[in-house]
């Protein structure tokens, strides 16, 4: 009997704490609708390919098509084109066009400024390998950008074409 009273008291105490926390204004995170990738933004991408099988260059562009104002979780949808030329034992050339989805930490005002400069994205689309072997297949990719200013970011990005070609690079993003 005593054990049941203790359990009931603990449950009531936890419920009271949960209700008090929900009613406290400071418990709600401050989130705006600001994002690094706004609808209409156009970016140029350039980088050095860090592939395991050689060194090369990458380039591309992205247009942000729409921003989704999901409360507490703003996202952006874009269209990205990437290309890579890599030199190893032979010449590799691949390209991809992908729909991208961005999520960044800019809207989360309770985070330190350093963290609010990050933006992640993932993409899915169609890719083509031209050299050393020709093939067309699905392409997937993604990356993370660190914005050092409103228009300039340092990036790590990669993309993979199902024909077996992969590109990973460190580069820059310049919003026009």
The Cα angle at residue 78 between residues 39 and 43, in degrees rounded to 5: 75
In the three-class reduction of DSSP (H, G, I as helix; E, B as strand; rest coil), residue 149 is classed as coil
Taking residues 16-40, report their average pLDDT: 69
Taking residues 83-100, report their average pLDDT: 91
Rounded Cα–Cα distance for residues 116 and 24 (Å): 25
Tell me, rounded to whole angstroms, the distance of Cα 57 from its chain centroid.
21
pLDDT at 30: 87
- Confidence class of residue 11 from pLDDT cuts 50, 70 and 90? low
Taking residues 91-116, report their average pLDDT: 93
Instruction: Report the relative pairing of strands 118-131 and 55-68 from DSSP bridges.
Output: unpaired
- Confidence class of residue 103 from pLDDT cuts 50, 70 and 90? very high
Task: Calculate what percentage of the chain has a pLDDT beyond 70.
Answer: 82
Give me the CATH topology for the region 42-175: Porin (2.40.160)
> Dihedral (C-alpha) 141, 86, 164, 50: value to the nearest 10 degrees?
-50
> Domain coordinates of the chain in residue numbers?
1-29, 42-175
């Amino acid at each position: 009997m005593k054990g049941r009273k203790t359990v009931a008291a603990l449950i009531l105490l936890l419920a009271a704490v949960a209700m008090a926390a929900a009613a406290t204004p400071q418990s709600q995170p401050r989130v705006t609708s600001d994002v690094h990738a706004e609808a209409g933004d156009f970016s140029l991408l350039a980088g050095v390919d860090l592939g395991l099988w050689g060194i090369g260059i990458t380039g591309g562009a992205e247009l942000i098509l729409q921003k989704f104002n999901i409360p507490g979780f703003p996202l952006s949808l874009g269209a990205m084109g990437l290309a890579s030329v890599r030199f190893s034992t032979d010449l590799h050339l691949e390209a991809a066009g992908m729909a991208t989805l961005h999520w960044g930490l800019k809207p989360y005002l309770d985070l330190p400024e350093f963290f609010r400069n990050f933006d992640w994205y993932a993409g899915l689309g169609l890719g083509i390998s031209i050299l050393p072997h020709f093939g067309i297949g699905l392409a997937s990719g993604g990356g993370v950008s660190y914005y050092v200013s409103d228009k300039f970011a340092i990036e790590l990005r990669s993309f993979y074409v199902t024909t077996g070609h992969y590109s990973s690079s460190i580069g820059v993003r310049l919003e026009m």
